[in-house]
Amino acid sequence: MAATTKLSPYKAEFLKAAIEGGVLKFGSFELKSKRTSPYFFNAGDFYRADLLRAISTAYAKTIIENGSSSSPIEFDIIFGPAYKGIPLATATVDKLADLDPEKYEKKCYSFDRKEAKDHGEGGNIVGAPLKGKRVLIVDDVVTAGTAKREAIGKIRKEGGIVVGILVALDRMEKLPAPSGDDSTPMPSAIGEIRKEYGIPVLSILTLDDIIGGLKGTGVDDDIKRMEEYKAKYKASD
C-alpha cells in the first residue's frame, strides 16, 4: 500500500501495518449488530511482534500528540480491560517510556481480571493500584460501550479517576435504533460515553482516515463500499 499525504506519518504507518498484517480486512462481515460491514478490524490479531510494535507505537504517538494539544489528558496509569486491552496497555506504557523517557518512564499500567481472585493477593486488579490515580483506558474499539462502562465502574470502585479512553479505531457508526429502523438518527457509542461520563475518547484512526488513506492505492471498490456504509450508518453526533 502506498503511503498517503492525507494522514500523519504514524497513522499512515499504522494503517499500512494493519492491512498488511491482516488486522484490517475488507469484504463482507456480519457484526454483532447484524449489520453487514465492508470492513473488519480485530486488534486481537496484533499478536506478532512487529504488529504489536506497530499498534503500541501508534497508541503512544496518539498520546504524545494529545499531550501537546490545548486540552491534554493527564494520567498516571494506563488501564487495559481484559482481555484484548491487557497487551495493548502494557505495550503502550513500554513504548511511551521508550519514546519520551523523561515524561513517561514512571507511568504505570493496570488491568482487570474477569473474575476476582480469591487467594494470594486477591482482588480484581493486577498492576498498579488505582486509588487516587488518574487512569487512561486503552482498548481496541467501542462497539456498544458495554465493556467500557464495566471498566469505568471497576476503576471507580477501586478509587481511580477515569480521565479518558483511547481506542485504535472509531467506526463513526451510529448505535442500532430501538425500533430497528436504520433510518432513525442515532448517536455513536463513543458519543454516548463522552456525554454520559464527560470524558474525552480519542482514537488512532477513524473510518474517514481509512477511506482517505486508501485513496490512490487501487482499491476503489473497497473505498466505495465503505463510503456507502458510512452514509447509511453515520452517527448523528
Cell 472509531 locates to 170
CA 87 to chain centre: 13
Cα–Cα dist 227/224, whole Å: 5
Cα–Cα dist 200/107, whole Å: 20
Query: Any catalytic annotation for residue 154?
Result: no
Cα–Cα dist 5/165, whole Å: 27
Residues in the chain: 237
108, with CB counted inside 10 A (0-12, 13-18, 19+), is: middle
Give SS3 for 166.
strand
Query: Any catalytic annotation for residue 119?
Result: yes
Instruction: Answer for the pair 169, 204: CB distance below 8 angstroms, yes or no.
Output: yes
Cα–Cα dist 214/230, whole Å: 15
Query: Which among 103, 117, 195, 215 is annotated as catalytic?
Result: 117
Selection from 32, 46, 41 nearest residue 80 by Cα: 46
Residue 198 φ/ψ region, left for φ over 0, alpha for ψ in the -120 to 50 degree band, beta for the rest: left
Give SS3 for 90.
helix
Query: Which among 32, 106, 119, 148 is annotated as catalytic?
Result: 119
Q: Among all residues, which ones are annotated catalytic?
A: 117, 119
